[in-house]
């Protein structure tokens, strides 16, 4: 995961700047594993046994995903998201939500193709490094 989380291209629209050291990524990974499964539901995305990203809910029902740019545009995020939506539906979730930087057109299109609908927008919602970012909020009724 550190290879992806230290990549400025991959992290362009993430909620934190790129990770600067392995310890930072290890702490982040530990939080994924150790958190309450009724609050957090995150998964590593693999392709042929190789880690290519993560997808899931850092705080249910809000989801997020991060993929290695080398694998963008091949449908892997859509496949992982579809599987995740089915998982949450089978577990009885009634909705999933997302908070997306409006400049992240690819993620917005992916979420819309998977049935997410924009609910509203807000300005200045995330401070990422020295940049103040906006949000587009989306919802998928399950």
Model pLDDT, residue 35: 86
Q: What pLDDT sits at residue 98? A: 98
127 has pLDDT over 90: yes
Q: Give residue-wise pLDDT tens across range 19-65.
A: 999 999 999 999 888 888 889 999 999 999 999 999 999 899 999 99
pLDDT at 36: 87
In this predicted model, what pLDDT tens digit does every residue of 133-142 receive, in sequence order? 999 999 999 9
Phi, psi of 102 (to 5 degrees): -60, -15
- Does domain 2-141 fall under CATH 3.40.630.30? My reply is yes
pLDDT for 55 equals 97
For the chain, what are the domain ranges? 2-141
Distance CA 53, CA 1 (A): 7
Nearest to 136 by CA among 79, 73, 123: 123
Mean predicted confidence (pLDDT) in 102-117: 97
Those residues with Cβ within 8 angstroms of residue 116's Cβ, 6 or more apart along the chain or in another chain? 96, 98, 138, 139, 140
Give the tens place of pLDDT for each residue, 52-99. 999 999 899 999 999 999 999 999 999 999 999 999 999 999 999 999
């Amino acid at each position: 995961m550190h290879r992806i989380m230290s990549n400025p291209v991959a992290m362009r629209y993430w909620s934190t700047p790129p990770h600067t050291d392995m310890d930072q990524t290890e702490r982040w990974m530990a939080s994924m594993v150790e958190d309450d499964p009724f609050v957090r539901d995150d998964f590593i995305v693999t392709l042929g046994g190789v880690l290519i990203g993560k997808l899931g809910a850092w705080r249910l029902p809000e989801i997020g995903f991060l993929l290695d740019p080398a694998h963008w545009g091949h449908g892997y995020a859509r496949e992982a998201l579809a599987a995740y939506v089915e998982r949450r539906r089978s577990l009885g979730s009634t909705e999933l939500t997302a908070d997306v930087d409006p400049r992240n057109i690819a993620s917005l299109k992916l979420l819309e193709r998977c049935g997410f609908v924009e609910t509203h927008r807000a300005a200045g919602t995330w401070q990422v490094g020295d940049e103040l970012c906006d949000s587009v909020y989306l919802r998928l009724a399950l």
